[in-house]
Amino acid sequence: MSAPRTVLVLGGTTEGRAAAAALAGRDDVRVVSSLAGAVRSPALPDGEVRIGGFGGAEGLAAHLRAERVAAVLDATHPFASTMTANAAAACAGTGVPLVVLRRPGWTPGPGDRWHRVTSVAAAAAALPGLLPGSAGRVLLTTGRGGLAHFAAVDAAFWIRAVDPPDGPLPARHELLLDRGPFALDGERALFEAVVPHVLVTKDSGGAATAPKLTAARERGVPVLLVDRPPLPGGVAVEPTVDAALARLLGD
């Protein structure tokens, strides 16, 4: 009997954990999930787990060779552009097959008041134009990174993140430490309590954090939506776990 193929799953997303669970049930696969370590108490996937970076594309390539990795599934967050670029470069340099698993982004529906921007910095620059001056109230759900861009905005912020953020923060802010998925009733209650003038968020896609968009639509709250960074050219991309695994394993 041949040794199991080693499949490296990058990312601790919901889709990454689902892929690891599916692979862990196979006798012909050894699944190893790699988590960045950005979250203090991550939900651990099935199978083997490593936590921490690789040291850029060269470090990842060395890891692929040392561990004789047969295939890589990039199931990182849609905004983890550095890791995705490193995976594309490392796999191209080693000849290891790579499939990028990306849930579809969100699309606006009737009643949505979305303002798309290209980055968190662009969202911070556009935000004052949507606020009634210093009395403005902002629900900020872009995560713990990049919050320094909002430090100079004169408004009251409610910042939702999994872990406490580092670095400069707006002078007036309240931290809402919580982890998705978020139910619609809970998001409605949050909007009722905060009464935001603007919701600032990233186009993460998926159902786990989409209810905030419904709550914003119901209350007529405009949304500053940060677009996803572009994917490296030439990579294979699939929108679902089943499709990604079928392409990756040739099943």
pLDDT in tens, 94-139: 999 999 999 999 999 999 999 999 999 999 999 999 999 999 999 9
Its pTM surpasses 0.85: yes
Residue 212, CA atoms < 13 Å, CB-side half-sphere: 29
Take residue 210 and report the two structure tokens written for it: 């989409």
CA 219 to CA 222: how far, in whole Å? 9
Q: 143 to each of 56, 121, 158, how far by Cα in Å?
A: 23, 13, 12
pLDDT over 60 at 141, yes or no: yes
pLDDT over threshold 90, residue 12? no
Architecture of domain 114-226: 3-Layer(aba) Sandwich (3.40)
Which of 35, 78, 46 minimizes the C-alpha distance to 225? Answer: 78
CATH 1.10.3720.10 fits domain 5-104+230-249: no
Other C-beta atoms lying within 10 Å of the C-beta of residue 210: 16
For the chain, which residues make up each domain, given as ranges? 5-104+230-249, 114-226
Dihedral angle of Cα 177, 196, 206, 178, to the nearest 10 degrees = 10
pLDDT for the residue 3: 77
> What's residue 38's pLDDT?
62
pLDDT at 41: 65
pLDDT of residue 145: 87
pLDDT at 171 over 90: yes
CA separation for the pair 28, 12 (Å, rounded): 22
Q: Do 5-104+230-249 and 114-226 come out as alike in CATH topology?
A: yes
Among 13, 23, 30, smallest CA distance to 74 is for 13
**Segment 225-248, tens digit of pLDDT:** 999 999 999 899 999 999 999 999
* Tokens matching residue 226: 């940060």
